[in-house]
Amino acid sequence: MRVAVVAILLSAAIATPARAAGSDDEERARGHYEIGLGLYRLGDYRGALEEFAAGYELARKPGFLLNLGQTYRKLGELPQARDLYRQFLAESRRDDPARPEAEKVLAELEAAIRAQPPPEPPPPPRPTVPAPSEASPPLAPAVVPPPSPSLVASAPRHPRRRGLRIAGVVVGVVGLGLVGGGIGEAFAADGAARDLNALDRTGGAWDPSKASAYRLDRGLSTGFFAAGAALAAGGAILLIVSAR
């Protein structure tokens, strides 16, 4: 139940800068919010942090602080998340509807930080092995007799194993091709993100088509990676079965 409530809080807080209209900076902040939300949903929390931080620099809306705090919480970096929740409570209005839930999450973060175990001490140094003495000759390696020729002879391969091996190679190659496509889409998405950030730095007009292209490339890269990894794993399994 706590996870669902926090997700609702994130959506409500992150929409706060999106409702503001008028200035070019607020429109760019909305664009950073949309990209950051997409990255958050895809599990790219580091990328989401960069977009939320860029949006906060443009619009200085307290809701972005909740977005940043929740993203740090997903990464397990609890002290950073705690500090951002504290900053939200310091900057937001007293009647902000997100404050009660933010206070609860802050209390949970502080309790979790207090409950963390102290860091483990470093392992003791490994004992050094003394060099062999000249008085004692080194031990001679054990002599292993060669295997019997009758045991070395390989059993004839079944035709079905050969078919499995070929299928495993084909499926694995297709999977690797999809992974390569995912890498290409990821590069395209990163290029679109750099173009959007360049517009912010240079003060150019916000291009919604680039934001749409970024979201499409990011979604395709995730799909290609997932399908390619599944096919590559299936090909590896077929090769293992054919070798038995």
- Cα–Cα distances (Å) from 15 to 9, 30, 37, 100, 215, in that order, read 10, 9, 10, 17, 18
Report if residue 27 sits inside a domain.
yes
Percentage of the chain exceeding pLDDT 90: 36
Whole-number pLDDT of residue 32: 94
Within this chain, do residues 96 and 179 fall inside the same structural domain, yes or no? no
- Cα–Cα distances (Å) from 208 to 10, 58, 211, in that order, read 23, 17, 5
Within this chain, do residues 23 and 90 fall inside the same structural domain, yes or no? yes
Is pTM, for the whole model, over 0.95? no
Within this chain, do residues 202 and 111 fall inside the same structural domain, yes or no? no
Asked if the model's pLDDT at residue 134 lies above 60, the reply is: no
Asked if the model's pLDDT at residue 221 lies above 80, the reply is: no
Q: What is the spatial distance between Cα 33 and Cα 35, in angstroms, rounded to a whole number?
A: 6
Cβ proximity of 176 and 230 under 8 Å: no
Report if residue 189 sits inside a domain.
yes
Within this chain, do residues 182 and 104 fall inside the same structural domain, yes or no? no
pLDDT in tens, 17-43: 444 445 788 899 999 999 999 999 999
CATH number for the domain including 70?
1.25.40.10
pLDDT in tens, 64-93: 999 999 999 999 999 999 999 999 999 999
Within this chain, do residues 25 and 109 fall inside the same structural domain, yes or no? yes
Report if residue 140 sits inside a domain.
no
Question: Which carries the bigger pLDDT value, residue 12 or residue 231?
Answer: 231
The residue segments making up the domain with residue 182 are 160-243
Report if residue 89 sits inside a domain.
yes
How many domains are contained in the chain? 2
Within this chain, do residues 26 and 108 fall inside the same structural domain, yes or no? yes
Report if residue 122 sits inside a domain.
no
Q: What is the spatial distance between Cα 21 and Cα 123, in angstroms, rounded to a whole number?
A: 57
- Cα–Cα distances (Å) from 193 to 23, 72, 148, 208, in that order, read 22, 21, 64, 12
Chain mean pLDDT for the chain: 77
Cβ proximity of 9 and 66 under 8 Å: yes
